[in-house]
Amino acid sequence: MVTIALETLASCSGCEISILDLHEELLELLDNAEIVYAPVLLDAKEIPEVDIAIVSGSVRNQENKERLEELRAKSKILINYGTCACYGGITGMADLYTPEEVTSRTYTDNPSTEPAELPSEVVPELLPIVHAASDFTEVDGYIPGCPPKERLVGDILIPLIHDEAPVVPKKSVCADCQRRMEHVEFDKIHRRVEGDPDPEKCFLSQGYICLGSVTLGRCGALCTAAGVACHGCGGPSLDVLREPSHDIYNGVIKRIAHLSKMPEKDVEKQMYDMGHLIYGFVIGSKIMEDKLVSKIPQLVKKEVVR
């Protein structure tokens, strides 16, 4: 019987819940594997030796880092599960602020709660910035998604427990999107709340920022089908990951310039809120920060050192 550990670091626990979304396939998983450690499901305090460790959430504090390192030492296969574990995810947006700003906002300077003492002795010390798990350990596989979609979880986990190589989709979100991409001359980038985009046409062709072309497409283009532009929760596309000079920011700029005939520098002048809009799911990723053209170094608070 294959043994599995599920570890939750700085996470919303949505990733663990997504494993339960396997529905009937969960039974197939449990016929062949035993979940022996999962703080979100079981009362197991010590991490045992396991075949497969699935880690979700980013590394935000010293305790996260120590648990991740212990998990690596005790597992044969370690998988980053969810965009937080793979690229820092949405939790990485804390890097737009210093740890002091984050803690004071939580405990002492929050308009909706009474100020409280900082619990310095019981809360593990925050690291200077948020990290993806692979910043500290060797990782055997990445399953991004926020959370990963249930179909993908089944397609990857079930073969893995049978010691088979999983077949994973490699295309971007655009490949599954039914919207029509077309060349239209325009000279204004719209904020997402502005106007009323045509439901048949590509958001980019209408001057709205959509990250579908630079995002790994394992969700079936859920959001664009529902009328919402892709905000990149699936993590960077394989093209972005492979090319050192290809980044989410420059990928979007180039595509809008291509579709609208606006010069790239004019598109750049209109870009807004890069921290949330462009890098919202990857700002904690060293892989993305180290890209030759990455804007992440300009966004992360400068007094911290990676």
How far apart are CB 31 and ligand SF4 at their closest, in Å? 26
**Least gap, CB of 41 to ligand SF4 (angstroms):** 15
Residue pointed to by tokens 């055997």: 140
Cα separation of 41 and 34, whole Å? 13
Edge to edge, the sheet with strand 75-81 lists 33-37, 2-8, 50-56, 75-81, 141-143
CB of 149 to ligand SF4, least distance (A): 8
Q: Which is nearer to ligand SF4, 99 or 144 (CB)?
A: 144
CA 244/CA 105 separation, integer angstroms:
36
Q: Write down the least CB distance from residue 239 to ligand SF4, Å.
A: 13
DSSP 8-state secondary structure symbol assigned to residue 180: B
Phi first, then psi: what are they for 302, rounded to 5°? -75, -20
If the CB atoms of residues 209 and 300 are measured against ligand SF4, the closer one turns out to be 209
Question: At its nearest, how many Å lie between ligand SF4 and the CB of residue 227?
Answer: 10
CB of 24 to ligand SF4, least distance (A): 22
Q: Which is nearer to ligand SF4, 35 or 174 (CB)?
A: 174
> What SS3 state is found at 23?
coil
Q: How far out from the chain centre does Cα 288 lie?
A: 12
**Cβ atoms of 39 and 64 closer than 8 Å:** no
Residue with structure tokens 């990149």?
232
- Give Cβ neighbours of residue 284 (< 8 Å, ≥ 6 apart): 58, 84, 87, 88, 89, 91, 92, 94, 95, 129, 130, 131, 132
CB 273 to ligand SF4: min, Å: 16
Choose between 76 and 249: whose C-beta lies nearer to ligand SF4: 249
Cβ(54)–Cβ(28) below 8 Å:
no
Q: What does 101-161 look like in DSSP terms, one character per residue?
A: HHHHHHHTS-TTS------TTTSPPEEEEEE-GGGTS--SEEE-SSSPPHHHHHHHHHHHH
- The minimum distance between CB 204 and ligand SF4, in angstroms, equals 5
**Which of residues 200 and 303 has its CB atom nearest to ligand SF4 in the complex?**
200
Q: Which residues contribute to the site for ligand SF4 (CB under 6 A)?
A: 11-12, 14-15, 56-57, 82-84, 89-90, 146-147, 173-174, 177, 179, 181, 202-204, 210, 212-213, 215, 219, 221-224, 230-231, 233-234
The radius of gyration computed from the CA coordinates of the chain, to the nearest angstrom, equals 20
**Closer CB to ligand SF4, residue 204 or residue 299?**
204
